[in-house]
Structure 1
Amino acid sequence: MNTDAALSILAALAHPTRLAALRLLIRHEPEGLSTGALVDASGLTQSTFSTHLAVLAKAGLVVSEKRGRQQIQRADLDALRGLMVYLAKDCCQGRAELCEPLLAELDCG
């Protein structure tokens, strides 16, 4: 990931509605959520939420797929992983033991 891509993702996440939507999608991986379910969860109108969804998609954080008559939105975990690696790449000047508390918090096991 380069700096421009990281900045695009961070800018997309710098809004409470978009951050909440991405976190909701992450919780629903790998099945994703319908656009209607996301709109309902946001409490916004369809048109207002669509603007936020477009920003997330443009940043590469959300992908859409058609399933039957529904549009299903999914978090692009590879993009999120790329951002996390980009941010932590130089963590602790190569001293891995200093990053262990961060990794322990991320442990999903």
Structure 2
Amino acid sequence: MLLPLAVEALSALAQGHRLAVFRLLVRAGPDGLAAGEIAREVGIRPNTLSTHLTLLNRAGLVCARREGRSIIYTADYAGMRALLTFLIDDCCGGRPELCGDLAGLAQGDICTPPRR
């Protein structure tokens, strides 16, 4: 991940509602959630949620797909993994005991969404 995209992703997460939406979608897994359900869970208006989802999508952290009349949102696990890898890329300085399991991110050992 390049620095400008990392800054955009971190900026998108640096707001309480957007962080709550992202964490909710991570917990929801690959099935995702409809916008109305996200708004209810997070406690924000649908029109406000739309703005937050747009910013998260632009930052590479959220994906959307249409199912019938609904739009289903999911966490973009590849984007999340890229951001986390970017953050720990210089971690440890050759001493993996400092980072523990974080070193597994680059290999995809951690944060793999459950298969359903």
What's the TM-score, normalizing by structure 1? 0.90
Aligned to 2:40: 40
SS in structure 2 of the partner of residue 65 of structure 1: strand
Percent of residue pairs bearing the same amino acid type = 43
Aligned to 1:17: 17
Unpaired runs of 5+ residues, structure 2, are: 112-116
**Cα distance, 1:60 vs. partner?**
1.1
What's the TM-score, normalizing by structure 2? 0.84
Unpaired runs of 5+ residues, structure 1, are: none
Question: Post-superposition, which runs of at least 4 consecutive aligned residues in structure 1 deviate over 3 A?
Answer: 101-104
CA–CA separation in structure 2 for the residues paired with 1:2 and 1:88: 13
Let me know the Cα RMSD of the aligned residues. Answer: 1.9
Q: 1:44 to 1:26 in 2, by over 3 A?
A: same
8 A Cα contact 2:39 2:45, kept in partner: yes
Letter in 1 for 2:53: L
CA–CA separation in structure 2 for the residues paired with 1:107 and 1:80: 11
How many residues align? The count is: 107
Q: Residues 71-98 of structure 1: CA distance to partner in whole angstroms, max 9, x if unpaired?
A: 0001000000001111101111121122
